[in-house]
Amino acid sequence: MSSETVPIKEFRLELSDLTFTGHDLVRPESVLCQADGTLWVSDGRGGVTRIHPDGSQQFFGGMGGEPNGLAMSADGTLYVANIGTGTIQRLRPDGQVEEFLTEVDGVKLTCADFIFIDSKNRFWIARSTRESHW
């Protein structure tokens, strides 16, 4: 396809267009794509893997649990819904990992499954369950 914008109703994808990307990933539940072709993938090894357009990979670990949903803010900070720890973690562009959200209105988060940042910079979070052990 050309770089020209194609309306979704005219979009066609053939089976032969599909290829495999990435290797050695564990439970890559969420994939976030950047305009330059960089992919960010949640990785069950306790982190996130960045797949560069040339296919090389970089693993950012230290999150523990089981990272699941991903969202990226305008400054390149990655927010990770970690279903294993139940929290939302922040992966800064320099690789630093920290807890971002552990509770809402005094109630501990459990099973954080997905995160989305909307056009008004609001965070939306989905949980698999309110139970402490899923």
**Confidence (pTM):** 0.84
Percent of the chain with pLDDT over 90: 72
H or E stretch at 52: none
Determine the Cα angle at 44 with ends 39 and 36, to 5°: 5
Backbone angles phi, psi at 79, to 5 degrees: -110, 135
User: 3-state class of 87 per DSSP?
Assistant: coil
Best CATH choice for the domain 28-127 from the list 2.30.30.100, 2.120.10.30, 2.120.10.80, 3.40.50.720: 2.120.10.30
In the chain, domain spans? 28-127
Lowest mean per-residue pLDDT among 14-18, 38-42, 86-90, 125-129? 125-129
Q: 15 near 5, Cβ under 8 Å?
A: no
Q: 40 near 32, Cβ under 8 Å?
A: yes
